[in-house]
Structure 1
């Protein structure tokens, strides 16, 4: 009997110590005034409810329901396996946008790190600092207005070539697939001066596979979309490394002609090795790829769906087209005249946001609206607490570009590009590319939707279930 007691004594002590610390931790935690909400099911939290809302085409319902039940300012949930505080409304957006890095810092879900290993050098002491340096040094030079003005004729030319090859020969086209191809082609041309259609098409395949996997369930088993994305990311990395090394050789052999004024040339002027340069380029491509293609797809969808919208966009764009000499490219002044067209793009992004928002991590305990957000918790701002909220946009499901005329929506209610130090640095670049593409589409075709009731599914971003099939009627025929 004594022997049994001695054998069990260590286990008993460990068990008692465990329960003591668990009790101590929980007692301390219970004293913290956490946001109201629910952690949902063990492990999966409320992820199933969130995904279900997206499959119904109404991801905003997940957030608006909890805002009504718990708090319109901030509520607790558990998504992607993390305790999370969702900051709501314009005040919540403003708080997160303007309090980085005071209270929150960069955070990326672990499963995405398996795919999105690009743009940031994780070996550095401070990923946060390194990311901010990238934004404050390289990107502003590349995306400053003076530089962007020079890109407009290139945008116009690539759009014309794309439409001539991929749209004009057909009576119907799937806009989502073609807008992705266009966005990738333009990115390759602008970032790395790659213009060979065959090479671009070959590199686009694994890139598209990688991006698709970003919005899939993070199940890394053979045959799953996420597993294919992980494998595709390695191919993408190898392809871009080959491009970088080739340019490096060209610069060494003939520095005067090989060091072009694209972003790859600027990166190769620095001290980073070829591996990090290739990651940066992929990161830039990734940052614009699905957001631009989504914005283009749904803008064209709405123009095709509403004849009165098409007519106003058409008239605006035709006035610009008639003012141009034969063969003359679009310029900065032309883009500034596309005021109503940009209102249409903005309303499309309000209803079908190219990006749902992003996550941060609390770097210290802090208080917001009377509740405490513990250090280590994840925070989330999302377009879904404002974009379809009737408090900020009356009749929120109605497509109404006039919302963006005049002063437009109230601050921090329309946030497709985020805000604060992490506001998308390419927002003006996106405006130019989208408008130059729309100009060429509506001055060449009259559009109509083949299926006006095509279902829209949300994952990381919305996408039409069947690719958004559009019927084309060439103008002048």
Structure 2
């Protein structure tokens, strides 16, 4: 009886000392915390955030400005927006900040994940990964990327209608499995993996309570099922193709599959499937979604691509890869600006530092707002909230660059950004050349945790006007002399 009481007393004393020290620190005149509040004890404002999600951040940014403090997911947190603030944080990696995620995310991905690594370990592993995402790798895979995308577009055109979000997810899960993991999977298996990844995405930012029925439990069960699928696949002999070079850069190996190394391999496959398909599938969906809302941009892109000069390359597929797609690039960039697949990232302060005169205390979590920064900058020549690819051909009136951080920045710039941009560019161009799109059932978007329709967004794909395709073929013949 005495020992438990003593433990409780010691715990209370330690918590009291901690609170007093923190209060003393906050009263230090040199410490100027951003405005905001902590909410309830322990849970902070997590319940309010769970109810309002993205609107929670919008309301507080409107109330407090670029920087405010809160308490989410069990941690004191400071939310920041604004180009200069983001640049300072991104460029301060390993000096004033380090990458940090809520406990639910870090525990789900595991301590050995590339995403969770820091310092020299992260630098070395990222450099190794970038070797496989080289220009040569992308050029060697351009034709097969295009082949998979065209096959999907043809399939969509053959159906009366499709659920656009589901189909875009399936397409990018297939691309990730085939070219980053080097495993071909049947459509039924791809559909199951897509559903499991959706479960993880929907329960990623939650309180880390591992009890049946909680979102955290559901996410872990989904992860384990993804690993089971790939374990079954490996046992059935798909490993005869060998590991992809990208997967090898994650430290994966087929050696001794019956030992503990199997778990390391499966963890590597899961991380690559998750990181390789999650963001890019969201970007692919939002790109097509935005083009259905303003088809004039799709029509203009079709005209531009048909009239652009082709490089004199004998191989027809490589010729496609060398098309100057300036307007296609503008559409991709505008999509990633207006609706970035990752709305924000997390950092932890390694030391006290200042932003806009406020103190960011050591040890606090920093929530870096990418979406709000890109959507609320008044330096652009047109409404920041409008989808306008032409803005990328205009010079901002104040000379400042358009806010653009869809892949993060600094030492933790997303290593797969070139892969993502290539795939999105191919999708954009092939869509313009081959398809007309009609909305059958509309839906608004929700932006948490990433952009997706509130209800089913149903569209009908049809082959583009045959005269356009004939024009395209004729122009190719003329180009070839």
Contact 1:244 1:278 in 2 (8 A): no
Residue 168 of structure 2: which of 166, 176, 179 is its match? 179
1:433-448 counterparts in 2 under 5 A?
Answer: 433-448=423-438
Q: What is the rounded CA distance, in whole Å, between the counterparts of 2:409 and 2:64 in structure 1?
A: 25
Whole-angstrom distance in 2 between the partners of 1:13 and 1:194 = 55
The structure showing larger relative contact order (alpha-carbon pairs under 8 Å, at least 6 residues apart) is 1
Please give the secondary structure, in 1, of the residue aligned with 2:346. strand
Offset, 1:450:
2.7
2:80 is equivalent to residue 87 of structure 1 = yes
Which whole-Å deviations, capped at 9, do the CAs of 1:415-468 have from their partners, x for residues lacking one?
11111011111111111111212222222221122345x221121211111242
Contact persistence 1:76–1:86 (CA under 8 A):
yes
Aligned ranges for residues 270-285 of structure 1 at < 5 Å?
A: 273-285=261-273
Where does the alignment leave 5 or more consecutive residues of structure 1 unmatched? 1-7, 251-257
Is 1:151 equivalent to 2:141 in the alignment?
A: yes
Bigger Cα displacement from structure 2, 269-278 vs 62-71: 269-278
Q: What is the alpha-carbon distance in structure 2 between the residues aligned to residue 305 and residue 344 of structure 1?
A: 13
Matched, 1:27 2:24: yes
Question: How large is the Cα RMSD of the aligned pairs?
Answer: 3.7
Give the TM-score of the pair, scaled to structure 1. Answer: 0.82
Task: Pick closer, same or farther for the CA change 1:97–1:449 going to 2, 3 Å.
Answer: same
Q: Secondary structure at the match of 2:180?
A: helix
Where does residue 5 of structure 1 map in the other structure?
none
2:174, 2:10 → 1: CA distance? 65
Aligned residues: 451
Match of residue 133 from structure 1: 124
The corresponding residue for 2:476 is: none
Show CA shifts across 1:75-125 (max 9, x none): 212222221122320111011101110111121211223432386279x9x
Given that 1:220 and 1:226 are in contact with CA atoms closer than 8 Å, whether structure 2 keeps it comes out as yes
Q: In structure 1, what is the equivalent of residue 109 of structure 2?
A: 116
Distance 1:210 1:140 in 2: 26
Structure-to-structure mapping, 1:67-466, within 5 angstroms: 67-72=61-66, 74-117=67-110, 120=113, 127-137=118-128, 139-165=129-155, 167-198=156-187, 199-201=189-191, 203-214=193-204, 220-243=210-233, 250=240, 258-259=241-242, 262-264=245-247, 267-268=251-252, 273-319=261-307, 328-329=316-317, 331=319, 333-335=321-323, 337-393=324-380, 394-405=382-393, 410-411=400-401, 413-452=403-442, 454-466=443-455
Instruction: Tell me whether 269-278 or 285-294 shows the greater mean CA deviation.
Output: 269-278
In the alignment, the residues of structure 1 paired with residue 127 and residue 386 of structure 2 have an alpha-carbon distance, to the nearest angstrom, of 38
Deviations 1:249-300 (CA, angstroms, capped at 9, x unpaired):
74xxxxxxx5465423564579994432332232122113121111111211
State the alpha-carbon separation in 2 of the partners of residues 13 and 216 from structure 1: 30
User: What's the secondary structure of 2:42's corresponding residue?
Assistant: coil
Shift of the 274–41 alpha-carbon distance from structure 1 to 2, 3 Å rule, reads same
